[in-house]
Amino acid sequence: MEKPEKIHKLDIIDKKILAVLLKSGRIGMKELAEVINNHYPTVINRVNKLIEIGVINKFYPVLQLPGIGIRKWMSLYLILKPMPDEKKNEFVKEFKKNPFLIQIMELEGQYSFTMLLVCNYIKEAYETINYIKQVCGDYLSDLNTKTTFTISNLNRQFFLDEEINLDKKEITTGFQPIINKTKLVHLGTHVKLNDKDIKLLNYLKLNARDTVEEIEEKTRIKRHVINYKIEKYLNDNLITYFTIDINHSKLGYYQYILFLNMKGDVKKKKILIDELYTKTKEAYHLFEYLDFWEVVVTYCVKDQKRMNEIIDDIKNRYGPDIQHQLLYIKKKHKVEPYPDVELVYPKD
């Protein structure tokens, strides 16, 4: 494992900004300044700086995948034979072209790569897996498919090594009042979308920070229509909230994937997952698999020592017979919140 060439050290202002944007990604900058109790020009400069140096990768909507027609999602784990870096880079380039692979990560440990495959029809999953096999050829030693039950962001405040005080007033910008009042309902099927919806959702995927005026200019959708549609997505639970993706390596952190077998103990599993959402600041992302490995958590930590402490704590509290496996995320080659909507939205 190598440290990044240049690590950005966060001060208390940066930490407050990131903590707010994780939960309210479209908050207005003036209101953000009020919430963190700092000057507006300072906050604007800090946000722009965090984007410029790559600490904030992107602003995006957290979207329920079934709402856009996705009915199949699965994690793929590849074991590849040793190869030159040039050959590996060729493979990555080919993998990234496939629109149904929305996450591609290079690993250290038992597996070489993990990918998240999302699609509507099983035929698309079948063809994508065959495509991966064809790309890898004789270099592929094994490919494991994990049927995925839950995909979720977690606490993600790994950068907070101290308590911070924020203005507790209700945020009023960035559609936050609708987000706060809307009760989460898990979608089981797609919502009704037209061509404008698809165009807007595709734009928001990687540009969710843009103002309504900027979105209107880029999409040619009238701003009152944009406001109406985003409010509807939130009310319909298609979009649950807006957030940011933080580049952990720019802050000197590492990411590990921890696989846990809870022995089928549903009660213990529920307690653990609740704590991951509310208490474990290093917990970044969750998969629940219909597999031997039931709970799979991505953690952001300062070093492997801290990761080992987390594992020891889990075993101490949930039982020493809890089985685990650990993988290190060497590099993220592709991370998108969802594919282009027209690829997965039902045609009939």
CA distance 178 to 176: 5
Determine the pLDDT at residue 320: 86
From the first residue on, what is the mean pLDDT of each consecutive set of 10 residues in the chain (348 residues)? 74 96 96 95 97 96 97 96 96 97 97 97 96 98 94 91 73 95 94 98 96 97 98 98 96 97 91 91 94 96 96 92 95 96 92
Position 309 scores a pLDDT of 96
Taking CA atoms, 226 is separated from 36, 62, 203, in Å, by 28, 17, 11
Q: Tell me how crowded residue 336 is: count the other CB atoms within 10 A of its CB.
A: 18
Helices and strands (H and E) in the chain: how many: 12, 10
91, 139, 148, 258 from 84: Cα distances, Å: 11, 11, 32, 28
Q: Of 319, 27, 312, which Cα lies nearest the Cα of 170?
A: 27
328 membership: H or E segment, kind and range = strand 323-335
Task: Write the DSSP assignment of 207-256 as a string of letters.
Answer: HTTS-HHHHHHHH---HHHHHHHHHHHHHTTSEEEEEEEE-GGGGT-EEE
Q: pLDDT value at position 6?
A: 82
248 CB burial (10 A radius; 0-12, 13-18, 19+): buried
The predicted structure's pLDDT at residue 84:
95
Distance separating alpha carbons of residues 65 and 62, to the nearest angstrom: 9
Pairing of strands 56-63, 239-246: antiparallel
The DSSP code sequence of 135-187 is HHGGGEEEEEEEEEEEEEE----TT--S------SPP-STTHHHHHHSPP---
